[in-house]
């Protein structure tokens, strides 16, 4: 079983501003645009949240809710610096760190550099070191998969630490309001509530096929995470964003049939590499270099995540034909794929229980 920690800093931008100016401590602090224009709230202190202020609302609305609030412009360089500091602390434990934003990351500590078996202890030590080095608090979720670790970090904010072992999965997820499920936004939660689905227990009653009908592809994801299954790996920021293969010809070529055969071989090479790495992608790029060295790239989104040679070829073929220019010779052909995800995710999720 994996040991995953999700860390999320508390009121990140606002907490840094308060640290920089301690007179702001205990006050309603809003970081974002000014309330007299079209500004938006980036975030606010927990004191301001009591008035209903939250990220994303207009600063004008926030000011109406909380007239005493102090509005501050963001200082991004400072936030980036703190973000680097916390990542350094994460990397002391593991290289398997997946940053989701400046203030948030997953860590896979199943095997860690310090040989510590107790993931809760690791989370406590990380929290303590972040506080010591940055003067800021964060919240941590510790569990056996990413989904639950993220849910956990949000359960006892600020300065929280929540451990969700397998036997507590239902206890945590069943009463959880639907809008607290990561990935379920305002629109989806409104749609679900209309159907009488207000929490995890309500969602759990749905069969897989009905959930897919209701939520599309995401239905599959939620069906399994509700049952404690989330095989997504922690993907580091150093993983490639694109995978590609290309070939330069001995002789420039203007024969479409021959080029399609070469494209098929490229698709096979690319498919092999994708499968070796356990990833697939949803955006395909065809690269063409003409005999005068002019380079063009053409991309398309695929309808689903793909890694099969036949699928890669089918999209590549469409792009090649759509951009075919009878009057030009080609010296290089390349096929690349981006918008990658881990293969493990869906294949494993699709295995019916």
Q: Which residues bind ligand TTP (CB under 6 A)?
A: 8-13, 42-43, 55-56, 101, 103-104, 157-158
In sequence order, the β-bridge partners of residue 246 are: 334
The answer to whether 7 contacts Mg ion (rule: CB under 5 A) is no
The answer to whether 14 contacts Mg ion (rule: CB under 5 A) is no
Query: Toward ligand TTP, which CB reaches closer, 17 or 311?
Result: 17
**C-alpha 225: how far from its chain's center?**
16
- Which residues are the active-site residues? 104
Q: Shortest approach of Mg ion to residue 101 CB, angstroms?
A: 8
In sequence order, the β-bridge partners of residue 299 are: 285
Let me know: does 292 contact 332? Beta carbons within 8 Å: no
The answer to whether 108 contacts Mg ion (rule: CB under 5 A) is no
Let me know: does 336 contact 287? Beta carbons within 8 Å: yes
The answer to whether 8 contacts Mg ion (rule: CB under 5 A) is yes
Let me know: does 108 contact 234? Beta carbons within 8 Å: yes
Q: Shortest approach of ligand TTP to residue 52 CB, angstroms?
A: 14
Candidates 264, 237, 266; CA nearest to 340 is 237
In sequence order, the β-bridge partners of residue 297 are: 287
The span of 50-58, 98-106, 116-124, 259-267 binding Mg ion (CB under 5 A) equals 98-106
Give dist(CA 56, CA 42) in Å, integer: 6
In sequence order, the β-bridge partners of residue 143 are: 4, 164
13 interface partner picked from ligand TTP, Mg ion, none, CB below 5 to 8 A per type: ligand TTP
Find the helix packing angle between 208-215 and 186-194, rounded to 10°: 130
The answer to whether 103 contacts Mg ion (rule: CB under 5 A) is yes
Query: Toward Mg ion, which CB reaches closer, 24 or 312?
Result: 24
Give dist(CA 71, CA 27) in Å, integer: 11
The answer to whether 306 contacts Mg ion (rule: CB under 5 A) is no
Give dist(CA 251, CA 259) in Å, integer: 12
The answer to whether 9 contacts Mg ion (rule: CB under 5 A) is yes
Query: Toward Mg ion, which CB reaches closer, 12 or 315?
Result: 12
Q: Shortest approach of ligand TTP to residue 138 CB, angstroms?
A: 8
Place of tokens 């395909």: 284
Query: Toward ligand TTP, which CB reaches closer, 15 or 340?
Result: 15
Query: Toward ligand TTP, which CB reaches closer, 9 or 192?
Result: 9
The answer to whether 17 contacts Mg ion (rule: CB under 5 A) is no
The contact set with Mg ion (CB under 5 A) reads 8-9, 12, 103
């Amino acid at each position: 079983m994996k040991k995953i920690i999700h860390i999320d800093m508390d009121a990140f931008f606002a907490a840094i501003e308060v640290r920089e100016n301690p007179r702001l401590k205990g006050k309603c602090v809003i970081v974002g645009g000014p309330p007299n224009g079209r500004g938006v709230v980036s975030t606010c202190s927990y004191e301001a949240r009591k008035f209903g202020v939250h990220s994303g609302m207009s600063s004008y609305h926030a000011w109406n809710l909380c007239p005493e609030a102090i509005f501050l412009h963001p200082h991004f360089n400072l936030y980036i610096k703190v973000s680097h500091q916390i990542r350094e602390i994460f990397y002391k434990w593991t290289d398997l760190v997946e940053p989701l934003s400046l203030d948030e990351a997953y860590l896979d500590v199943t095997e860690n550099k310090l040989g510590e078996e107790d993931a809760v202890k690791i989370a406590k030590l990380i929290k303590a070191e972040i506080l010591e080095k940055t003067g800021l608090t964060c919240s941590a979720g510790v569990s056996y998969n990413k989904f639950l670790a993220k849910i956990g970090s949000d359960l006892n904010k600020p300065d929280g630490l929540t451990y969700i072992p397998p036997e507590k999965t239902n206890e945590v997820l069943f009463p959880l309001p639907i809008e607290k499920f990561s990935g379920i936004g305002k629109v989806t939660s409104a749609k679900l509530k209309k159907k009488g689905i207000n929490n995890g227990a309500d969602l759990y009653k749905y069969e897989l096929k009905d959930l897919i009908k209701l939520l599309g592809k995401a239905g599959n994801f939620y069906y399994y995470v509700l049952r404690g299954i989330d095989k997504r790996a922690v993907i580091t920021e150093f993983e490639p964003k694109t995978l590609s293969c290309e070939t330069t010809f001995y002789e420039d070529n203007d024969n479409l049939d021959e080029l399609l055969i070469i494209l098929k071989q490229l698709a096979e090479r690319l498919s092999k590499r994708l499968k070796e790495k356990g990833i697939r992608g949803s955006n395909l790029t065809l690269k063409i270099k003409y005999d005068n060295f002019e380079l063009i790239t053409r991309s398309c989104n695929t309808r689903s995540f793909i890694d099969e040679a036949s699928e890669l070829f089918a999209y590549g073929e469409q792009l090649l034909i759509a951009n075919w220019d009878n009057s030009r010779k080609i010296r290089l052909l390349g096929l690349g794929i981006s918008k990658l995800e881990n293969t493990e995710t869906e294949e494993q999720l699709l295995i019916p229980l």
